[in-house]
Structure 1
Amino acid sequence: MSFLLDKFKSFSLKPILIFDETSYTYENFIKQIEKYIKTLNEDQINSKVVAILGDYSFYNLALFFALYETKNIIVPITTNIKKIQDEYLQESFCQICIKTSKNELIISNLKQTNSHTMIDSLKEKNSSGLVLFSSGSTGKPKAMIHNLDNLINSYKDKKEKSMNMLVFLMFDHIGGLNTVFNTLFMGACLIIPKNRDAKNICQLIDKYKIMVLPSSPTFLNLILISEEYKSYDLSSLRMITYGTETMPQSLLDKLKKAFPKVKFLQTFGTSETGISTTSSKSSNSLFMKLEDINCEYKIVENELWLKSTTQVLGYLNASMDSFTSDGWFKTGDLVEELEDGYLKIIGRSKEIINVGGQKVNPSEVESLILNLDCVDDCMVYAEQNAITGQTVVCDVVLNKEIDNIKKTIRLFCKDKLDTFKIPTKVNIVEKTNFSDRFKKIRRKENI
């Protein structure tokens, strides 16, 4: 018996997850895993590249661990768009595609004759693997391949706890899988939402007395805008963790006001290096420390570089330009560092706007504009300009009519920002542009 199944058996009758108002125990989960292992062995599905089509469910998670036990390389694919599914299957060198239908597995053999040296290496070592795709917000999604044995081993010493945790980020996201592994390896209970909107998430927190909400700044702002948090009892919440994008200070201040008794913790990680253990300086501070024994960091020209024991083997469909020859991953995150070792993520290097040689950090401008009472949300990005190369543009979501929002914003920013940082164009929108991972997608038109 593997250490994983052995650990799950020690939790036996405890609830492991709740989905669609149905509760399952660790014992139910082990039986489902063992049933799937039997099917996989009968079909000789081991040491293969296997896609799971779909998001979290009791059956998909059981299949995930059955594939892990049978030393397969797993590709979770949550998108329903056939064109993207096909691209992911092709670029991950998938041999088999599986959909779950309760107890049954719908198995499709793909006509894949090609492979990749990193896939071959995992198979030779009899190791399981994991392929995740980047969000693709700044270009073509990269197919990242992990040694899954190595990744899962980093969670094996978790201490047992009884609590309900909500998984927010998706099945094909390193942050979502981090929540799953943390929850299951400490014998806690995972609450899986049927859909990710403010009302449903608040309902689940109320109904199941969820203590920890992992999220993104974009989604937390949607909760504030919707005011759904006022309609439900969210007093069970002890901690809200946030990551995946830069948190504006003004938004964090609003969240602390709405949830005064909740601890806010900034998480940090990348699909390339895994999720790091962090501690925030305080609940209302954007400064944090990276305190992970499996990860080291350094700052090079204000950019955060990481090296971890759980980092990817590489990319299946892209060059390794983001990695140095000695294994450091250049995250693209720009940071400010204090003398006591605390760091603050101030933005992404690829999102910096260049106005005639002057650099503008979109997050800084957004955080200021969010202080305006009439603005619920905003997003700052670059547009091409014949004179300065780029200029600052802002999309805003308003909560009331304003006669001249551009004038209002420019006057508000006048004595608080350098002139070149002040938006030259303001668009009123119904919602800002964000991905299904609730991460802002900044438009860059004709650049």
Structure 2
Amino acid sequence: MTVESTTTQWGTSIEPVVVDGRTYRMYTHRPRNLGSLLSLADRWNDRAYIVQGNHVVTFAEFHRAVRQRAAELRARGVTAGDRVVILGWNSPEWIVNFWAAVAAGGVAVLANAWWSESELADSLDTVAPRLVVADDRVAGRVPSQWSLFPWDLERETDSEALVELPTEAIDENSPAAIIFTSGTSGRPKAAVLSHRSLLAGLQMLLHITRRLPHQVSESTGQAALHTGPMFHVGGVQTLLRAICVGDTLVMPAGKFDAAEAMRLIEQWRIQRWSAVPTMVSRVLEHPDVHTRNLTTLKSLTVGGAPMTPEFVDRILTGLPGVEPRIATGYGLTENGGQGVAASGADTVERPGTTGRALPCVEIRIAPSTEFTDGEILLRSPTQMLGYLGESESPIDSDGWLHTGDLGRLDDDGFLWITGRSKDMIIRGGENIAPAAVEAALTALPDVADAVVFGIPHSDLGEDLVAAVVLTHDRGPEDLAEQLRGRIASFAIPSRWIPHREPFPVNHAGKIDKKAVVAAARQLLEEAR
């Protein structure tokens, strides 16, 4: 498929389209196949696409590597609709493997590299993949019944062995990727996103920023710092955008480090950075922030938690080059990512808002008898097909996604997040289900009961506290060590409140969690 034929697929006019009995606002002219985006790599050719440490991959090298890897996947039996798990940390290989799964006609399953062995095993049982493409650093966690495939490319092949880009018609409503989200009741849930889901989200963001493929020239493109996990929906959105507009993606070599982030901004003259508040805070608090040349950074997008007015002020003071371009937004995996966006001017004029609905997104606030504000409902062509292996869905028969978040809309259509009706903690940008941590704790031999909750944290946003009823004396370090391998490391509590007496119960005989949390908060406050 030529670049010209690809770019003519994109438009800005919107019409109602019925999908499985639900009516969505959708672009009249839109791409239908995620793999068709790969042809856009030819526009940028020898420009750097992926940078990590000393490893620089151009768009041309990336394009060839994807076609080669897709040929290898097909040689191992991957056919249309087969699930291919991508398990590893951010790297050029991660990006190549993701696109290769798409080019081979498979469904890319994005496994969380932070998972414990039991979480990974449970998730693999859910998706039943054809292959697991695993980084050597985490391949040892994969149960033996699943077929492993090497992370790195095999030997160079000749051009005849390279897979051609997808050109055949494809149902835009068929699965393209599976991304896991933390379920409030326990194990990770596998959200199935269609080609429509991912492409509609991409087209809306390109539309509002005037970056649709036919609107940009070969000189378009910026250096962008990517510090979030690729296996989150935000990582996928970043990959899709970069190949459309010719961005160079610069990634840290390992765990996020504020000093390295500043060095990369200087070295690569970074213009865009998408991050969670914790990462931005660490840069702002670094002693060298005012002595480094960070003036090339013009666009900062912050997600993962609401932006407080105080945080906006800190950014404007610490990173004055981004004024007034501190963009933010609101979305969730079940919605295919972002559904609401605020421009930099919106953020400055209305600090705390998450913005207005993207062009194809509808928002409703469902009245609540329990909370002051109602639940946020979204209807969008980006939303998931459903949870794999689950009969229940947060999407109702009319297509409204019940987010579990509380909020309000002002007279100008700006959305304000005011709370969460669902039981979820966001720690350093990672969603944690207290129920899952409580289940892991009560499975330990010396823990009779557990209540897990979040408290504010200046760096991580929220931190985890566990109140536990112990049958034998156990120290926090012992309990934390026993949890390793059962749950992800980011879900292990850092604050502990031991009890020897049973928790109070309510009239139904269940643990009175509100009373337990209130008493625990009081103890923490007294200990300050």
Cα distance change of structure 1 residues 291 and 352 upon mapping to structure 2, 3 Å threshold: closer
Corresponding residue SS for 2:347: coil
Residue in structure 1 matching 2:281, options 221, 225, 231:
221
Partner of 1:129: 176
Partner of 1:343: 415
Partner of 1:287: 353
Cα distance change of structure 1 residues 379 and 61 upon mapping to structure 2, 3 Å threshold: closer
Q: CA deviation at 1:154?
A: 4.9
Partner of 2:159: none
Distance 2:184 2:65 in 1: 36
Q: Does 1:303 align with 2:375?
A: yes
Given that 2:78 and 2:130 are in contact with CA atoms closer than 8 Å, whether structure 1 keeps it comes out as: no
Q: CA deviation at 1:43?
A: 2.2
The aligned amino acid for 2:249 is L
Partner of 2:110: 76
The aligned amino acid for 2:364 is K
The aligned amino acid for 2:332 is T
Cα distance change of structure 1 residues 207 and 428 upon mapping to structure 2, 3 Å threshold: farther
Distance 1:30 1:379 in 2: 40
Given that 1:225 and 1:376 are in contact with CA atoms closer than 8 Å, whether structure 2 keeps it comes out as: no
Given that 1:75 and 1:130 are in contact with CA atoms closer than 8 Å, whether structure 2 keeps it comes out as: yes
Partner of 1:405: none
Residue in structure 2 matching 1:96, options 131, 141, 146:
131
Deviation string, structure 1 residues 203-231 (Cα, Å, up to 9, x no partner): 22222111111111233223333445335
Given that 1:379 and 1:394 are in contact with CA atoms closer than 8 Å, whether structure 2 keeps it comes out as: no
The aligned amino acid for 1:235 is T
Corresponding residue SS for 1:175: helix
Q: Does 1:184 align with 2:231?
A: no
- Output the TM-score relative to the length of structure 1: 0.73
Cα distance change of structure 1 residues 228 and 346 upon mapping to structure 2, 3 Å threshold: farther
Residue in structure 2 matching 1:11, options 44, 48, 56:
44
Cα distance change of structure 1 residues 343 and 74 upon mapping to structure 2, 3 Å threshold: same
Q: CA RMSD in A?
A: 3.5
Q: Does 1:163 align with 2:222?
A: yes
1 or 2 for the larger relative contact order (CA 8 Å, sep ≥6)? 2
Corresponding residue SS for 2:273: strand
Deviation string, structure 1 residues 86-108 (Cα, Å, up to 9, x no partner): 2221122223112368xxxxx99
Partner of 2:72: 39
Q: CA deviation at 1:321?
A: 4.3
Deviation string, structure 1 residues 111-147 (Cα, Å, up to 9, x no partner): 59xxxxxxxxxx9999452111113576321111111
The aligned amino acid for 1:342 is F
Cα distance change of structure 1 residues 40 and 248 upon mapping to structure 2, 3 Å threshold: same
Partner of 1:328: 400
Cα distance change of structure 1 residues 70 and 37 upon mapping to structure 2, 3 Å threshold: same
Deviation string, structure 1 residues 255-275 (Cα, Å, up to 9, x no partner): 222223312111221101122
Given that 1:46 and 1:67 are in contact with CA atoms closer than 8 Å, whether structure 2 keeps it comes out as: no
Partner of 2:121: 86
Distance 1:304 1:151 in 2: 21
In structure 1, list runs of 5 or more residues that go unmatched: 102-106, 113-122, 354-361, 396-422, 430-447
Corresponding residue SS for 2:186: coil
Corresponding residue SS for 1:250: helix
Partner of 2:329: 267
Distance 1:163 1:34 in 2: 25
In structure 2, list runs of 5 or more residues that go unmatched: 2-34, 137-141, 148-169, 204-211, 368-373, 426-452, 468-502, 506-511
Distance 1:393 1:232 in 2: 45
Given that 1:277 and 1:292 are in contact with CA atoms closer than 8 Å, whether structure 2 keeps it comes out as: yes
The aligned amino acid for 1:65 is W
Q: How many residues align?
A: 371
